[in-house]
Amino acid sequence: MIAFSAEFYWIGAFAIVAAVVNSAGIVAIFRHREWAERSLPYLMCFAAGILITTPLIHALPHAIANNAAAGFTALFGFLFMYLSNEAIKRRTGEETLAFGVTAAEGIGIHSLVDGVVYTVTFNISLLTGVLAGTGLVVHEFAEGAITYLVLLKGDVAERTAAVYAFFIAALTTPIGAFVAYPLVSRLGESQLGLLLGFVSGVLIYVSAAHLLPEARTYETDHSMLALLAGVALALVIVFARAM
């Protein structure tokens, strides 16, 4: 019989709660499509604010502190997303589909690594895990909604977008946590730094080169406030983790 540590149950609990909150965001948008379409540019700006602040203020500096080569993996992550977008556009001939798939791809990687973060932080200490886990759960509702909306923007049917969003954004977090659990103890800080660098590059691309330019095409009032609100939330989460 396999014996699980107390950390495993904390990791599992936070990962499952994150998936539930993420799913709630998908369901809320799915049932209120008209509101979602009006809110699309604001939510994209809000998400861009979160996703650009997190790697620049917290993730990338932390990655480089653990491994000086993390900047190279961040560049690789950025180029990986850029080339993925170009490949999808060339293969499908549809720019809107490429937008939806590439954004969902980046969010999926981010969600998967969220699960890994739960595992790593709870193995450091219970307090670190709870602080980091709480910060991650806070943004899950918006992440689920954004994943669904960008798939709609990519001309994916409503029900199909909801199902895809669940698998991409919600289910990947517990998968990342449970898969990483038996492996994370074998990774040193240097290897984790490289992984975190790659994720930082992915997030920078999705926010600065993808979500934000698309949101700006709507030219709506108060979109800048939505962006700044996302930045503010990310800063609160980062400083809460540092306390």
What are the extents of the domains in the chain?
6-242
CA distance 116 to 181: 8
Residue whose pair of structure tokens reads 């999705």 in the numeric block: 206
Residue whose pair of structure tokens reads 């199909």 in the numeric block: 160
Average pLDDT over residues 19-38: 79
- pLDDT digit string, tens, across residues 190-227: 887 887 788 788 778 877 876 677 666 666 677 788 88
Of residues 97 and 18, the one with the higher pLDDT is 18
CA distance 169 to 183: 22
3-state secondary structure of 160: helix
DSSP state of 169: I
> In this model, does residue 75 exceed pLDDT 90?
yes
Q: Whole-number mean pLDDT of the chain?
A: 76
The structure tokens listed for 158 are: 């409503």
Confidence at residue 69, expressed as pLDDT on a 0 to 100 scale:
93
Confidence at residue 1, expressed as pLDDT on a 0 to 100 scale:
42
Average pLDDT over residues 23-44: 76
- pLDDT digit string, tens, across residues 132-165: 666 567 667 767 877 787 777 777 788 888 888 8
pLDDT interval class at 112 (50, 70, 90): confident
How many CB atoms are closer than 10 A to CB 104? 24
Average pLDDT over residues 236-243: 68
* Residues 222/98, Cβ–Cβ less than 8 Å: no
Confidence at residue 2, expressed as pLDDT on a 0 to 100 scale:
46
- pLDDT digit string, tens, across residues 87-108: 766 765 556 656 666 666 667 7
Confidence at residue 231, expressed as pLDDT on a 0 to 100 scale:
86
